[in-house]
Structures are given as structure tokens and as C-alpha cells.
Chains A and B, each alone.
Chain A
Amino acid sequence: AQSVTQPDIHITVSEGASLELRCNYSYGATPYLFWYVQSPGQGLQLLLKYFSGDTLVQGIKGFEAEFKRSQSSFNLRKPSVHWSDAAEYFCAVGTYNNNDMRFGAGTRLTVKP
């Protein structure tokens, strides 16, 4: 079965600074990859997804992620962080025709003024 690791439990960045959240997956074939964001007490909102094609994926709120097969990674990036980006971010990996989507443990983002 597939698995996903988010190495950073908590990251703090200053407002206006760039951001990169790491995600590594384990799966033998090409996975489906997702990034979700969760504000406190809320459900998960999809930021972006990768199924195939262009390995650089653009999402909502100015986020992007790059699929690197050689590194088994799907890192999330944003060039300039806003205070409203403070939340928990989850990377997830799915596979074709499989309902068992696996989520990472999440990375909590704190934004300093």
C-alpha cells in the first residue's frame, strides 16, 4: 500500500517570506498526489492535486507543488506567505481505483508578523 511522510511537524515563517512544505511518498507506480489545508476546527480544503502531465501544479491561494518522481516528493511552495496562511497542511497519496487514500500526519504552519 502507498504511504506518505511529512517530515516537518511544525514550521514558523515570517509574513512575506517564502514557504516550502515537504512531502515524501512511497508507491511503486505513479500516485495521485494532493495537498489539503485545514484551519482550526474546520474540514479540509483542497489546495491542489497531481494526477499526470505537467509536474508543476498550480493551486488556489497562490500555492504550487512540484512532483519529482526521482525523489518521491511532492513539496508545496508559496513565494510570499500571508498571515491568513497559518493552518495545518496535509499531503495525501491515492492510487487509481483505490479508496484507501493515505494522509500524512500534517505540518502546522505558524506565520510571524
Chain B
Amino acid sequence: SQTIHQWPATLVQPVGSPLSLECTVEGTSNPNLYWYRQAAGRGLQLLFYSVGIGQISSEVPQNLSASRPQDRQFILSSKKLLLSDSGFYLCAWSVHSGETQYFGPGTRLLVL
């Protein structure tokens, strides 16, 4: 069966520091991968998605970036964090575009 992992689970970072969040999927090949952000009390905002290695689409312009160095690995990065980057970051995968997305456990990021 397929599983999706995210780490770290929780992260506290100072403003201006770099960021690297990792997501990996097991049990499937060539998945679509997604990064979402969930601000407190709000829905999910799609940040990036990827349909293959090295293929990244950005939905919202910001100081975050994403990379997919391997088929089942998706990384969310920033060179300099802002206070507004605080939130709950969720990674998800799907077999095909538009179909069911399966979510990881999330990473809670607090920028101070």
C-alpha cells in the first residue's frame, strides 16, 4: 500500500532563516505531488504541484520554491523565511491529475 511521509513534524525558525521541508511517497511510481499551506482557521491553498521529476508548477508567487529531485520526493524550500510563512504545510499525492489526493501528516511551521 502507499504511504506518504513528511518531516519534520514541527519546526520553529527565526525570520530570515532558510527552510527545507521534505515529503516522500512509498508504494507508487510517478505520482503527482502537491504542496499546500493551511493558515489557522482557513482552508487549503495550493502552492506547488509536480507531474514528474524536475517539473514544478507554481500556483502562488511568493518566497517559497519547490523541487522534485527524485520520483517520489518533493521538497519545499525558502532562502529567507517571513513571519507570514507560518502555517501548516501539507504534502499530497495522486495517481492522475484531478483525481483523489492523499495527504501526509503535515508540518507545522512557526516563524518567530
- Within B1-55, the residues touching A (CB, 8 Å) are 6, 32, 34, 42-44, 46, 49, 51
Which applies to chain A's interface (DSSP): helix, strand, loop or mixed?
A: loop
- Within B52-93, the residues touching A (CB, 8 Å) are 57, 59, 90, 92
B105–A98 touching, CB < 8 Å: no
Closest to B46 in A: A100
Number of A-B contacts (CB under 8 A): 55
Question: Which bucket holds chain A's interface residue count?
Answer: 20 to 34
B106–A101 touching, CB < 8 Å: no
Whether a CB of chain B sits under 8 angstroms from the CB of A45 is yes
A44–B90 touching, CB < 8 Å: yes
Known: A32-B98, A99-B32, A99-B34. 5 other contacts (CB 8 A): A36-B103, A42-B106, A51-B99, A95-B98, A100-B46
